[in-house]
Amino acid sequence: MKIVLFGAPGAGKGTQAVRIAQKYSIPHISTGDIFRANMKEKTPIGIIAKTFIDRGQLVPDEATIQIVKERLEKEDCQNGFLLDGFPRTVAQAEALDTFSSVDVVINVEVPLDKLLERITGRRVCPKCRESYHIKFLSGVTTCAKCGTELVQRADDNAETVAERLEVYKKETSPIIDYYAKQGVLITVNGEGDIEDVFNSICEKLG
Ligand SMILES: [Zn+2]
């Protein structure tokens, strides 16, 4: 199965991606991970990508499309794949159509106020990276794993989050429309817990 996964920041997309890939025995292809690996190995494309990422800019379509194309040509993608973080523009979606088909596009939807609550309530351990939500911490301020004092990430405040979600929506809507017109889009309510959301995805995938 060839799957593209969409979900706003805070919608739990990463967790679902791992589970879907496992269940359907397909590689989870995250463009973020590929870029990080290429930058670490200092490949030509990694060096180009780094100049943009260091400046806080998106890597241009051309480079992004190239690394996804190369990745999808690998042996492990012959029975399908799950794309996470790509396509990010309609131009990327159109390019993808030229070198691979897409069976289904999953959009994990969570209402804006829910996303805000999830992200602004997030607390992370600066030492072991474990993530918590104040709703479940019931006043505890230290990491259950290593005892370190939990912190809120600087960009997890309401104002920045609202801005990030706005940008996400603006960027993603045209791509969602693009796939809706192709008749491959399924929308899943991402409000429940991880297990519920995963079950509704599986149900819809059949
Ligand atoms: Zn910790």
Residues with CB under 5 A from ligand 1 (ion): 125, 127-128, 130, 143, 145-146, 148
192 SS3 class: coil
Average pLDDT of the residues in 28-45: 90
- Whether the pLDDT of residue 33 is over 90: the answer is no
Which range of 11-20, 54-63, 106-115, 144-153 scores highest in mean pLDDT? It is 144-153
- Whether the pLDDT of residue 121 is over 90: the answer is yes
55 is catalytic: no
129 is catalytic: no
Q: Which residue has the tokens 């289904």?
A: 104
pLDDT at 129 (0 to 100): 87
Q: How far apart are CA 120 and CA 164, in angstroms?
A: 12
- Whether the pLDDT of residue 179 is over 90: the answer is yes
Average pLDDT of the residues in 51-80: 90
- Whether the pLDDT of residue 99 is over 90: the answer is yes
pLDDT at 57 (0 to 100): 82
pTM confidence score: 0.84
71 is catalytic: no
122 is catalytic: yes
pLDDT at 112 (0 to 100): 87
**Residue 92 CA, ligand 1 centroid: distance in Å:** 38
3-state secondary structure 127-160: CCCCEEEHHHHCCCCECCCCCCECECCHHHCHHH
123 is catalytic: no
28 SS3 class: strand
Residue 7 pairs in a beta bridge with: 108
**Residue 123 CA, ligand 1 centroid: distance in Å:** 11
Q: Quote the percentage of the chain above a pLDDT of 90.
A: 67
Q: Are 180 and 172 in contact (CB under 8 A)?
A: no
